[in-house]
Structure formats: structure tokens, C-alpha cells
Amino acid sequence: MFLEAAHADRLEPLYVLAITAGSRQGELLGLKWEDVDLEDVTLQVRRTLSNGTFTAPKTAKSRRSVKLTARALESLKHHRQRQLDRVTRKETDPRIWRTQKGNRFELMKRGRDVRHPRARKRR
């Protein structure tokens, strides 16, 4: 049901991967297009986004190949095409996930207010 509700969301591929690939949040946010092999239907976990920087996974087991489901593959293909259609720079951005302004996503911190600063309640 969640994926059905997220179908029209621009981050649907992120949600699909989170559910089907069993990857951690930092691993998903650390993915670049070079890590995804659409022909071999796999992705390589080579880095993680941690404290605002890309780092290598902590253990050898964390560096792994993940077979993509058919839904994840189609979702990523569609996402890639949308990114290519919107590119205005000479080079494409290697990051898979970006904010609408083109910045990279950061990890969501538990117990912290992650809303936009302008969304604060007015007194």
C-alpha cells in the first residue's frame, strides 16, 4: 500500500529501494549512478552518506552487490530518464538522489525536527 501511495512521488525509486533492497538509509543516499548497473540489474554498495560526507562502508560485508527487483529496476530507469530530461548542465550529476534545488539529501536524525525552518509554528 505504501508504494502504491508513493507512485506519483519523485522519490518513489528511493522508497522502492528502501523496501526491496534492504539497504540502510546512508547506503541509499550514498548511491551514485556509477553504482547501478541497469543491464546486470544490480547495484553496488560502495559508500555511505554519513555526517554530510561520503565514506566507505564500515565493514567488508557492507560493501556488497544487491540484485534489483523488477519494480526497482523500472523505477530507477524512469528516475534516470527524468533526471536526464531535466539536465541543463553539460555533465550529468552522478548523484541519484537530490533535493528539488539540486542539493544532496542528508540523513534524517531521530528525535530532531527535520522540517523546513519556515515551517515552524508561529507564536
Q: In the prediction, which pLDDT does 84 show?
A: 83
* pLDDT computed for residue 69 by the predictor: 95
Domain boundaries, the chain: 2-103
pLDDT number for residue 44:
96
Which CATH superfamily does the domain covering 2-103 fall into? Answer: Intergrase catalytic core (1.10.443.10)
Amino acid letter for position 92: T
Across the 123 residues of the chain, what is the mean pLDDT of every consecutive 10-residue run? 75 90 90 94 93 87 94 93 72 73 62 43 48
Q: What pLDDT score was predicted for residue 31?
A: 93
Distances 122 to 111, 112, 113, 116 between C-alpha atoms, Å: 21, 18, 15, 13
Model pLDDT, residue 90? 46
Return the pLDDT at 101: 73
CB–CB of 38/20 below 8 Å?
no
